[in-house]
Amino acid sequence: MILVTGASQGIGFACAEALLERTPNSVLITGRSAKKLEDARISMGEASHNRLMTMVSDQSIESDVHALIARLDAADSVEGAILAVGANPAFTGRPCRIHALDDATITATVTTNCTHALMLTAALLDRFRRQRTGALVWIGSQAGAAGPPGSALYSATKSFLSGLARAAHHEYAARGIRVHLAQPGLVRTPRTAAVVDAGGARYGLPVAEAADVARRIVDLLLAGDLSAVEVDLQ
């Protein structure tokens, strides 16, 4: 089984679609909304239905993260994972300078993107370590290095993944475990659709399509170079 978190739409969904096309594995996708997961399952097409599993698991909620880890523990095999959940409060509220961030937003974003991503990472790496094989891709962002104004909190949580990825590589590469931090630039997805073209034009940046970014993420998961830990996708 291959896990893709945050995969009822956007880049995660496109990764799951590519995995079903390119591998014989079953794929478990997660999201917060049962309806969106069911819609995703339907849109994958009938040929994939017997290999596509869905699970409601909200990465902002610790008990949901534990339930997902329990599901992984119970699975016969877990060959790899793509951790795609990454909350960006600039898309749910307004872009917000650091001095104006409220405590609840800081706590919720760091909990989802860092604390709970690390809990999932620890469970996956423990499994891969024991089975002496496995590949893990986190979806980061070039925002981590660029630090665009108004997205400091999001950017900081993406930078957290850089340290995590480098340390995981140093700790587990000798056991044959590959880890990669995929760092897309601007990507057209349901989250960004309303603003991404204007953002690209303002900063002179290209806008990638989710399917193209997903293809490269799945390339990394299936056959990435062991030493290519942080990979810019634009």
Ligand X SMILES: NC(=O)c1ccc[n+]([C@@H]2O[C@H](COP(=O)([O-])OP(=O)(O)OC[C@H]3O[C@@H](n4cnc5c(N)ncnc54)[C@H](OP(=O)(O)O)[C@@H]3O)[C@@H](O)[C@H]2O)c1
Site of interaction with ligand X (CB under 6 A): 5-12, 30-33, 36, 58-60, 84-88, 112, 139, 141, 184, 186-187, 189-192
Residue with Cβ nearer ligand X (26 or 113): 113
Residue with Cβ nearer ligand X (86 or 89): 86
**CA distances for 67 relative to 58, 86, 89, 112, 119, angstroms:** 10, 19, 25, 15, 12
Residue with tokens 């790899």: 80
CB of 130 to ligand X, least distance (A): 26
The answer to whether the CB of 187 falls within 8 A of the CB of 201 is no
DSSP class of residue 76 equals S
Nearest C-alpha neighbor of 131 from the set 82, 74, 78, 178: 78
Pair of tokens at residue 171: 């700790």
CB of 51 to ligand X, least distance (A): 19
**Cα–Cα distance measured from residue 173 to residue 170, given in angstroms and rounded to the nearest whole number:** 6
Residue with Cβ nearer ligand X (11 or 78): 11
Residue with Cβ nearer ligand X (96 or 173): 96
Residue with Cβ nearer ligand X (78 or 117): 117
CB of 234 to ligand X, least distance (A): 9
CB of 175 to ligand X, least distance (A): 26
CB of 223 to ligand X, least distance (A): 21
CB of 27 to ligand X, least distance (A): 14
Residue with Cβ nearer ligand X (48 or 131): 48
**Cβ-defined contacts of 91-99 (< 8 Å, 24+):** 91/191, 91/192, 94/150, 95/149, 95/150, 95/151, 96/150, 96/153, 97/149, 97/150, 97/152, 98/152, 98/153
Residue with Cβ nearer ligand X (9 or 26): 9
Pair of tokens at residue 35: 């309806």
CB of 60 to ligand X, least distance (A): 4
The angle that helices 152-172 and 116-131 make with each other, rounded to 10 degrees, is: 20
* CA angle (142, 111, 127) in 5-degree steps: 85
Q: Phi-psi category of 45—alpha, beta or left, where left has phi over 0 and alpha has psi -120 to 50? A: left
